[in-house]
Structure 1
Amino acid sequence: MQADPAEQARRLVDERFPDALAVVLAGSTATGRATPGSDLDIAVLIEDGGVTRRETIRFEGRVVELFVHTRAGLAALFAADVAARRAVMQSMYVSGLVLVDRNGEARHVRRLAEADLREGPPPLAPGAVETRRYGLTDALDDLADTSDTIERLAVAGLVVNSAADLLCDHHQAWLGSGKWLPRRLMEADARRGAALLRGHLHSCEAGDPTALFEAASEILGLVGGPLREGYRRTWPGGTDSVAAAAGR
């Protein structure tokens, strides 16, 4: 029988971070979605002068993801997450289980995180939306054009991620990746998000991309519709590749 994750996390903190200012157990083990193979996601606020870092360890047989930060380090992480429109650290502090709250530090950080989440992510600049419209238009053209099963699967994944990016920005909602992509999509727009996800599933299972194409096209329509001829982007120079710049 596997150890209780909260008790396991407390033992780890007592051993490795006895002077922590705040500790939060986040992720699936704190939200009731844990599986036997779930790791522990633990945010640890330490005194100034320490090293802000992410570290993966194994403790009592379980993989642990440590997110260790000073106050200044956490402020920088919050700012970076807002800029990336993902709010990963903020979500950890808001939805996680508080294990240590020395002098109210965890409550203070949670209030800051809640303020960020309420505010929402910054909107994409018009040029960035235009670039994403162009990219999704191109991906949808490829989805309709290719008959190769493997290529279609690859393009379908690109369509889902591109459409999700635009839909979340349209609603000024937070983005997610991996298993957080469907969760964030449904929070942003339950109807369109579900249609996009169901279309992707049907495309993968049945090889028919029609529903995915229609769902992504509706999302594209929210932000100005397809963009092909007339798209123009000046190049900033430097070391950016074409692909890297197109993703901005």
Structure 2
Amino acid sequence: MKPVDAAYKFIEAHYPDCQGALLAGSVVRGEATETSDLDIVIFDQKLSASYRQSLLEFGWPIEVFVHNMISYKEFFKNDCERARPSMPRMVSEGIVLKDTGIIRGIKQEADDLLDKGPETWSEEAITTKRYFLTDTLEDFIGASDRGEALFIANELASLTSEFGLRTNQQWIGKSKWTVRALKNYDETFAGEFIQAFDKFYTTGVKTEILCLVDSILEPFGGRLFEGFTIGKHK
């Protein structure tokens, strides 16, 4: 069954009285793979609390995100605070399955949040992130055990992408959304980032990763160790 048809049938079967429903995710963006599911967002004012559920119906794995008219706002807020706008993005990109007059306003809320971007990091936040990125980089440089180096590289990739994106007032991502966030910011930078880590994973050469991290840290004073303190009382 086609994604939209399956989504309509799902709504009719399980949420016939909801005030609004959207189909989001990879099938909407034209990025579906053989393992993709249907992401469906439901708005139902009768619910006392939000919930998420996974099902297999109408030939599809379905992830349903169910909200009342207040709970979605809290998810919007939390997503923006962590700088990973999963819920606002789903709402913004979603195809309308049902609407009793509420969807336009909720979509506008999502679009406004996405356009605004995350809160700017304070100098204190930048200093702290800079220190822990430096610390992980030094661990990576010194790692002689291949297994340890692989896992340090994973953490380094996460911290580096976060630092590079947040210091440029960009949304961050997790898992596959890390790459998408990097590409949304700068295709060239994303390519260099992927190439650096791919080279290490395939050949063990660390040089390109070191250059990448140092280039991101350089505008903020470079690597940081001496003089850093956290939690010390005067």
Q: Shared fold (TM-score greater than 0.5)?
A: yes
Deviation at 1:61, TM superposition (A): 4.0
Q: Check conservation: 1:196, 1:216, Cα contact below 8 A.
A: no
Instruction: Give the Cα–Cα distance (whole angstroms) in 2 for the partners of residues 153 and 177 of structure 1.
Output: 18
Q: 2:155 aligned to 158, 170, 182, which one?
A: 158
Q: Cα gap change, 1:49/1:65 in structure 2, threshold over 3 Å: closer, same or farther?
A: closer
- In structure 2, give the amino acid aligned to 1:46: D
**Structure 1 residue 226 corresponds to structure 2 residue 223:** yes
CA 1:97–1:222 in structure 2 vs 1: closer, same or farther (change >3 Å)? Answer: farther
Provide the rounded CA distance (Å) in 2 between the counterparts of 1:31 and 1:187: 14
Please identify runs of 4+ aligned residues in structure 1 that moved more than 6 A: none
Corresponding residue number in structure 1 for 2:139: 142
Whether 1:5 and 2:38 are equivalent positions in the alignment is no
Match of 2:152, as an amino acid?
Answer: V
* Counterpart for residue 200 of structure 1: 197
Q: Displacement of 1:48 after TM fit?
A: 4.4
Q: Pairwise CA RMSD of aligned residues?
A: 1.5
Deviation at 1:135, TM superposition (A): 1.0
Give me the TM-score of the superposition, normalised by structure 1. 0.89
**Pair 1:186 & 2:187 matched:** no
Cα deviation, residue 31, structure 1: 0.7
> Quick check: 1:56–1:63 contact (8 Å CA) kept in 2?
yes
Q: Tell me the CA shift for residue 151 of structure 1.
A: 1.2
Tell me, yes or no, if structure 1 residue 168 matches structure 2 residue 165.
yes
Partner SS state of residue 65, structure 2:
strand
Asked if 1 retains the 8 angstrom alpha-carbon contact of 2:91 and 2:106, the reply is: yes
Structure 1 position 106 matched with structure 2 position 103: yes
C-alpha distance in 1 between matches for 2:193 and 2:213? 6
Asked if the contact 1:163/1:220 (under 8 Å) is kept, the reply is no
Give the CA deviation at 1:134. Answer: 0.8
Q: Which moved more, 1:205-214 or 1:173-182?
A: 205-214
Q: Distance in 2 between matches of 1:101 and 1:61?
A: 25
1:93 equivalent to 2:86? Answer: no
**Aligned partner of 1:57 among 41, 52, 55:** 55
User: Percentage identity across aligned positions?
Assistant: 29
Letter paired with 2:108: R
Instruction: Give the AA of the match of 2:171.
Output: W
Amino acid corresponding to residue 136 of structure 2 in structure 1: A
- Residue by residue over 1:218-248, the C-alpha shift from the partner in whole angstroms, topping out at 9 and shown as x without a partner, is 1122333111011000069xxxxxxxxxxxx
Q: Please state whether the residue corresponding to 1:203 is helix, strand or coil.
A: helix
Hey, what's the Cα distance between the residues in 2 that align with 1:191 and 1:66? 35
In 1, are the aligned partners of 2:165 and 2:182 still within 8 Å (CA)? yes
- The number of residues matched between the two structures is 233
Per-residue CA shift, 1:132-189, capped at 9, x if unaligned? 1111111111221112211111111111110111111111111110110000012123
Question: Structure 2 length normalisation: TM-score?
Answer: 0.94
Structure 1 unaligned blocks of 5 or more: 237-248
CA distance in 2 between partners of 1:164 and 1:52 (Å): 31
Structure 1 counterpart of 2:21, one-letter code: V
